[in-house]
Amino acid sequence: MSKPATLDLGNLFPDFTVIQTQEMSLAANEVVGKITNTLVTLNPMEIKTYQITVQRSSQCFKNGNTCSKGGDCCSGLCFNLQCY
């Protein structure tokens, strides 16, 4: 039997700090609600879409690391981010 799964969205991006998390409609064109923490639970057969606002970790980008694709590089991952 399937069971609910809880995931901490903050742990998905260890080199970034999650500033805000919003649950979006499946098409990601409408906000369903804001989430006060980064923990989300998915029930069996459930699909959800989230918009996450993150802030760069100063320790990650202190050397100005960049990826060959033009984005920023941290933990071997490339990101093309707009910073606020």
pLDDT confidence bin for 19, thresholds 50/70/90: confident
Residue 81 has pLDDT above 60, yes or no: no
Q: Is residue 60 part of a domain?
A: yes
Range of the structural domain that residue 42 is part of: 5-79
Q: What integer is the mean pLDDT of 66-73?
A: 49
pLDDT score for 46: 92
Taken in order 31, 29, 11, 80, the sign of the CA dihedral is negative
Q: How many domains does the chain have?
A: 1
Q: Is residue 19 part of a domain?
A: yes
Tell me: the pLDDT tens digits for 22-39? 899 988 889 998 888 888
